[in-house]
């Protein structure tokens, strides 16, 4: 199982230039060639954890926005 958004982020974090991937583990380079068989890409796929990232709670979102607004006011 592949979490497409998460795998894409993991590939980019590993320094792999990709224009995307799919739920079957197919990964495309920027010139639209399949690159899932490259050793570096295989390593990222092997370590991939498809568990979705937990969503922020409403309280966490409010705190984040409030913190950003406080920082904006400090920088004025």
* Residue whose pair of structure tokens reads 């060639």 in the numeric block: 33
**Average of pLDDT values for 19-39?**
97
- In this model, does residue 76 exceed pLDDT 80? no
Q: Is 34 helix (H, G, I), strand (E, B) or coil?
A: strand
On whether the pTM is more than 0.85, the answer is no
Spatial neighbors of 9 by CB under 8 A, at least 6 apart, are none
* Residue whose pair of structure tokens reads 């320094």 in the numeric block: 15
What's the pLDDT tens digit per position in 5-28? 999 999 999 999 999 999 999 999
pLDDT attached to residue 7: 97
- In this model, does residue 62 exceed pLDDT 80? yes
pLDDT attached to residue 75: 79
């Amino acid at each position: 199982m592949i979490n497409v958004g998460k795998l894409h982020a993991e590939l980019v974090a590993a320094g792999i230039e990709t224009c995307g991937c799919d739920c079957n583990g197919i990964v495309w380079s920027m010139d639209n060639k399949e690159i899932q068989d490259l050793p570096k890409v295989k390593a990222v796929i092997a370590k991939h954890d498809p568990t979705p990232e937990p969503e922020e709670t409403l309280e966490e979102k409010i705190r984040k926005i409030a913190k950003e607004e406080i920082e904006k006011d400090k920088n004025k």
